Amino acid sequence: MNKLYPLKFKARFRDKIWGGQKINEVLGMDFGQLPNCGEAWVLSGVAENETIVSNGFLAGNELNELVEIYMDDLVGGKVYDAFENEFPILVKFIDANDWLSIQVHPDDDLALKRGLGNGKTEMWYIMSADDGSELISGFGAKVNQKTYLDHLKAKTLKQILNFEKVKEGDVFFMPAGRVHALGPGILLAEIQQTSDTTYRIYDWDRNDAQGRSRQLHTEEALEAIDYNVYDNYRTEYSKLKNQTVGVVDQKQFTTNVLNFNKPVLKNYEEIDSFVIYTCVAGSMEISYRAGMEKLAKGECMLIPNDLNLVELKPLTESKLLETFIL
């Protein structure tokens, strides 16, 4: 069997009522005849939405097919035991040209109880943001289910939500259960559990091009929502250069940020997991045992578990999200 190598994939594009043009204009991805593009799924094992390899001898194969064939060699022993033939992480780029719906996702326990597979915990890395751009993360005032429903019915939900101004480089960890929404002017990278379950709780009373409103999931969301208030919704991390900086360390995934302008040697012998590189700025060469691949802003690469040693050589100052499962 041929040796595995760093894998790149063809993106899957989704037009959204709130989407814009930055997926093409900023990230250089051609989303064809779509009127806009809200999401580019660049690494996906979601059923019927798997991404397809675009480089090397495995080009044309779907991600989950490779998991089934290569198992531990691709994803790691613990990961394969836990998730079997479904790749457990979904990576997207999101362009918010308008407010996304206010929504919430179930956690693993609730998703299992409802027969939905995984829950949906995620993180956002802000790649760019227009002046004044903001997002919603959690509640700004203590509420219970009744208070929440009263505000939802009165269309005054904004009064109890927490709004955050954002800028490039900000990170927001969004555990399952946290009510959230993206505002206009934001381009980001999203790392999340493999799940497409979203409970939409408010959609700003808007209609699509056919005059139809989108479905809401008021009842389904009630048990999923975390009604607590937290001191800080922003994920703080060091902005050091040429060092691997920890950002998210959770059971669902670990993500580090690497901002570098010098070559970096990465040794993954102690990690029994695949590694995902999501390039959020710059471009680089990635050297491995049998060759070299290039990675640029707006691209994602999967480093197989059995590829323990790689060297990152920046072609310009670059920023990379490094994700794996411990």
- Assess contact for 142 and 161: CB atoms under 8 A: no
pLDDT digits over 113-170, tens only? 999 989 999 999 999 999 999 999 999 999 999 999 999 999 999 999 999 999 999 9
User: Quick check: is 2 in a domain?
Assistant: no
Could you tell me the pLDDT band of residue 260, with boundaries at 50, 70 and 90? very high
User: Quick check: is 159 in a domain?
Assistant: yes
- Assess contact for 4 and 307: CB atoms under 8 A: yes
Angle value at C-alpha 102, between 129 and 157, nearest 5 degrees: 110
Model pTM? 0.95
The residue among 222, 256, 289 that closes a domain is: 222
Which residues have a catalytic role annotated?
200
Reference 184, options 16, 12, 14; nearest CA is 16
How is the chain split among helix, strand and coil, in percent rounded to 5?
15, 35, 50
CA dihedral defined by 20, 43, 311, 259, rounded to 10 degrees?
40
- Assess contact for 46 and 196: CB atoms under 8 A: yes
Question: What is the longest distance spanned by two Cα atoms in the chain?
Answer: 62
Residue-range definition of the domain harbouring residue 116: 7-222
Residue 185 CB partners (closer than 8 Å, separation 6+): 96, 97, 129, 130, 131, 132, 133
The residue among 222, 254, 286 that closes a domain is: 222
Q: Which two tokens stand for residue 282?
A: 């710059």
Distance of alpha carbon 65 from alpha carbon 52, whole angstroms: 10
pLDDT digits over 224-247, tens only? 999 999 999 999 999 999 999 999
Same domain, 193 and 250: no
Distance of alpha carbon 225 from the chain centroid: 20
For the chain, the average pLDDT equals: 96
117 vs 58 pLDDT, higher one = 58
- Assess contact for 301 and 321: CB atoms under 8 A: no
Same domain, 211 and 273: no
Same domain, 251 and 132: no
Question: Residue 284 sits in a domain of what CATH number?
Answer: 2.60.120.10
pLDDT at 209 over 80: no
Distance of alpha carbon 40 from alpha carbon 22, whole angstroms: 11
User: Quick check: is 230 in a domain?
Assistant: no
Same domain, 118 and 263: no
Q: Read off the pLDDT of each residue in 76-105 and give the average, rounded to a whole number.
A: 97
Could you tell me the pLDDT band of residue 210, with boundaries at 50, 70 and 90? confident
Same domain, 267 and 146: no
**Total structural domains within the chain:** 2
Same domain, 50 and 152: yes
Same domain, 173 and 134: yes
At which residue do the structure tokens 């969301």 appear? 221
Q: Read off the pLDDT of each residue in 76-92 and give the average, rounded to a whole number.
A: 97
- Assess contact for 163 and 134: CB atoms under 8 A: yes
